[in-house]
């Protein structure tokens, strides 16, 4: 029987991705090149948003893959992800990661939500590195949780338009969309397998306005919206533990700096 492949060290991951890895602050690494081992995320990854945690069967997001969907310019899904990482780091020292192909993360906003930037690794991949980078981070065993922004990894943005892009016939555009969605589904299944091996929780952010032929495979699926800066609406679409579909209203408390940053980002997205 062949030996299982060794998990890559954090230093090896940094070397592997080179210039596409950006650390917002120095991440602690031991002399052996290994990240501090703090164990897997606990069962029921609390978001810190009490109404939502109470509504979920495990008292929070489950281990495995959770899909958090919201309209692209609104950010309800990323709000839940940021607060979950902050709550996790507040409970125990651990490394977390965020795959950010859209380069939309705002470091001061994350810090105001309580995320320890010294233990946050941000991966901003390009092209084919998008999916592979996320899989390597989740499978490395170095991170308690990884957020993956599913920002058009396979060119499906163009393919999804009702009118075929210039130079592409409509049947060809529909076939491209089907291929992209199939790749996306396979990617999430591979993330789930990597999560089971490493004990890393995976939070996948996606655009709720995208049309899909079938729901994305995940332990938990939530659809979010933010009708105001101080209100988050969450619909529990699917929970493997049997939570019935539910609609949860979550009051948000935002500091003045967070509110200003959120308004600025919303204004920039609307232009």
The answer to the question of residue 244 being in a domain is yes
Give the number of other Cβ atoms within 10 Å of residue 73's Cβ: 12
The answer to the question of residue 5 being in a domain is no
The answer to the question of residue 228 being in a domain is yes
Residue that wins the pLDDT comparison between 59 and 11? 59
Contact 175, 128 (CB under 8 A): no
The answer to the question of residue 34 being in a domain is no
The answer to the question of residue 148 being in a domain is yes
Packing angle, helices 129-139 and 10-17, rounded to 10: 180
Mark out the alpha helices in the chain (DSSP H runs): 10-17, 50-55, 76-91, 107-112, 129-139, 156-159, 170-198, 256-270
Task: Provide mean pLDDT across the span 98-126.
Answer: 87
Confidence of residue 269 (pLDDT cuts 50, 70, 90): very low
Q: What is the pTM of this model?
A: 0.75
Above 90 in pLDDT, residue 234?
Answer: yes
Contact 145, 203 (CB under 8 A): yes
Which residue segment(s) compose the domain that 244 sits in?
A: 10-29+40-270
CATH of the domain at 212: 3.40.50.300
The pLDDT value recorded for residue 43 is 61
The answer to the question of residue 35 being in a domain is no
The pLDDT value recorded for residue 200 is 92
Contact 149, 101 (CB under 8 A): yes
The C-alpha atoms of residue 189 and residue 181 are separated, in whole angstroms, by 13
Above 90 in pLDDT, residue 216?
Answer: no
Judged by average pLDDT, the poorest of 125-129, 164-168, 242-246 is 164-168
The answer to the question of residue 45 being in a domain is yes
Confidence of residue 106 (pLDDT cuts 50, 70, 90): confident
The percentage of residues in the chain with a pLDDT greater than 70, rounded to a whole number, is 65
Alpha-carbon torsion (25, 29, 34, 35), positive or negative: negative
Contacts (Cβ under 8 Å, ≥6 apart) of 110 = 24, 82, 117, 120
The pLDDT value recorded for residue 256 is 42
The answer to the question of residue 2 being in a domain is no
The pLDDT value recorded for residue 19 is 42
Packing angle, helices 129-139 and 170-198, rounded to 10: 20
The pLDDT value recorded for residue 260 is 42
Domain count, the chain: 1
């Amino acid at each position: 029987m062949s030996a299982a492949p060794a998990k890559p060290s954090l230093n090896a991951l940094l070397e592997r991705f080179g210039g596409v890895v950006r650390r917002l602050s120095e991440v602690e690494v031991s002399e052996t090149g290994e990240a501090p081992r703090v164990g897997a995320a606990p069962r029921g990854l609390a978001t810190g948003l009490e109404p939502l945690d109470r509504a979920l069967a495990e008292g929070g997001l489950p281990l495995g893959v959770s899909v958090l969907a919201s309209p692209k310019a609104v950010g309800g899904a990323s709000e839940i992800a940021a607060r979950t990482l902050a709550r996790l780091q507040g409970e125990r020292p651990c490394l977390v990661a965020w795959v950010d192909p859209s380069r939309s993360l705002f470091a001061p906003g994350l810090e105001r939500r309580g995320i320890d930037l010294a233990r946050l690794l941000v991966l901003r991949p390009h092209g084919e590195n998008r999916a592979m980078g996320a899989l390597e981070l989740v499978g490395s065993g170095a991170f308690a949780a990884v957020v993956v922004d599913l920002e058009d990894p396979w060119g499906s943005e163009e393919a999804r338009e009702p009118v075929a892009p210039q130079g592409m016939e409509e049947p060809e555009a529909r076939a491209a969309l089907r291929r992209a969605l199939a790749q996306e589904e396979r990617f999430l299944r591979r993330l789930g397998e990597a999560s089971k091996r490493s004990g890393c929780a995976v939070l996948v952010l996606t655009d709720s306005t995208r049309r899909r032929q079938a729901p994305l495979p995940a332990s938990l699926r939530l659809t979010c919206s933010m009708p105001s800066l101080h209100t988050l609406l969450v619909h529990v679409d699917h929970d493997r533990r049997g939570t019935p579909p539910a609609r949860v209203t979550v009051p948000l408390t935002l500091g003045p700096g967070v509110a200003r940053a959120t308004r600025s980002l919303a204004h920039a997205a609307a232009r």
